[in-house]
Chain A
């Protein structure tokens, strides 16, 4: 039981980094970006192929994965801002292109990392005195570091402009900012984080699979929405914290559903259906509530 919770927490935090990426596009930039389903795999693919075939340092590949994800985000951004393709379609196109590219990177549909050193294995080895908490501790530190860097970034001059771009683009243009460039930068940051998450998840779970990114956008949204419904704040610290909490709650629920869901006939393959339904409900309920409130007022 305790072990399930530890694993749920580890995964919640690792996928939480991807959720932070989704948060940046969905909540901050107001750009529903589907690239993430591809860039998550790109991170995992680059990390595992560099580890297995080129013997790279497991920490270094995290940085490279981030950079590769950022490039994917830039491509989506350019499709949208320079070629005028709508945000959704730009993301879909990138996602599909990445599917082929990811296969190229991996050379085959999946790569096993069981015989390679990974950050998780290094941490478990170096801090074996902490027992089964060592990985959780490492994952917590990494995720919180990412979160606080993000929080700081959004308080900087450039970070402020990025936030305002999603809030009132015309006003930002009037402040002398090339908002197209800001959108590209935001998409790069977002997909960089998603790819970093993919690289960490691959090293954590010991494999990369070309299909492992399917639904990244939906699970990311689930975390953003669950967290946002629990903590209603406009402060970036609280918004990012809520995303991580949302991710933790989501992963714990998934873990329990997989472990005990068979009682009500739940199968692992139902997961994406159930997650999407949760997101649909979470998206619809606030709008519905608002409409009810307005109706009551006009009565």
Chain B
């Protein structure tokens, strides 16, 4: 489904060159659910950026469904790849209404000069919003800027569902939310992934999530994949094991260790 071959990414920062990714190889089959952990600056976001096409690798090759997409612009990859980032503001257009945002996500090819929001579509939107249980069904005509971070992120997840991507990239997408909303959005995403069987990469700081979800776990450090646990191996891992692995790598990351408590 998704293959990365020797993907490297170097950033120039002032005089220095930062190697954000150093030769990553990765192969995901259809329906795989990969969780990714690693300290800050490990290159997790860079990895997702390269897959989504918002940045290009310095060297290496990215292919989706056996098609080389290394230099394909991000908007063309969007036909297969959906993405939700940490920033709840990133996935929606703030000045436009909930209904308009949903309409943008539901019609993604062959856009025309037809009315974007028909009565039938509105009914579907009400259904969708009802299923969120956030009372957003009454607010279809509110600009999204009036919504809370949790509501906006839930809307972003819904929009990703409408688009029906084949690959879903989640970059700590609940990290900026309060615990209640984080749990809600997390559950919503899980339902979505299970229902559509979409191939998923989820970056998270939450080791319990990383262990509980998915069939494969990557640990990254300094731009490299240092551990790659599959099905059975992953199932027998515990948070303590992960912390142990981290400290064995002399990874000092207060945030990670705090999370682990």
Residues of chain A touching chain B, judged by Cβ–Cβ distance below 8 Å, are 153, 155-161, 163-164, 167-168, 170-179, 234
Contacts and interface: CB of A to CB of B under 8 A. Distances in A.
B69 to A, nearest CB: 14
B175 interface: no
B241 to A, nearest CB: 36
Contacts of A167: 93-96
A155 B114 CA distance: 8
Nearest to B113: A156
A161 B104 contact: yes
Given A161-B104, A167-B96, A173 B116 contact: no
B104 A155 contact: no
A156 B92 CA distance: 18
Given A175-B104, A175-B163, A158 B112 contact: yes
Given A157-B116, A170-B90, A173-B74, 12 more contacts: A156-B112, A156-B116, A157-B107, A160-B96, A160-B100, A163-B96, A175-B105, A176-B76, A176-B108, A176-B163, A177-B78, A178-B73
A168 B117 CA distance: 20
For the complex of A and B, the 3 pairs showing the least CB-CB separation, nearest first, are A176-B78, A167-B93, A157-B111
Contacts of B91: 171, 174
Contacts of B75: 173-174, 176-179
A155 B105 CA distance: 15
Contacts, number: 87
A172 B89 CA distance: 13
Interface of B: 52, 54, 73-76, 78-79, 82-83, 89-97, 100-101, 103-105, 107-109, 111-117, 143, 163
B198 to A, nearest CB: 15
A234 B95 contact: yes
A136 to B, nearest CB: 31
A157 B107 CA distance: 8
Given A161-B104, A175-B108, A234-B95, A153 B78 contact: no
Nearest to B112: A157
A22 B107 CA distance: 28
Nearest to A170: B90
B92 A171 contact: yes
A171 B54 CA distance: 12
A158 B113 contact: yes
Contacts of A159: 113, 116
Contacts of B76: 176
Contacts of B113: 153, 156-159
B111 A161 contact: yes
A174 B82 contact: yes
A158 B82 CA distance: 21
Nearest to A159: B116
Given A157-B107, A160-B100, A234-B143, A172 B114 contact: no
B94 A160 contact: no
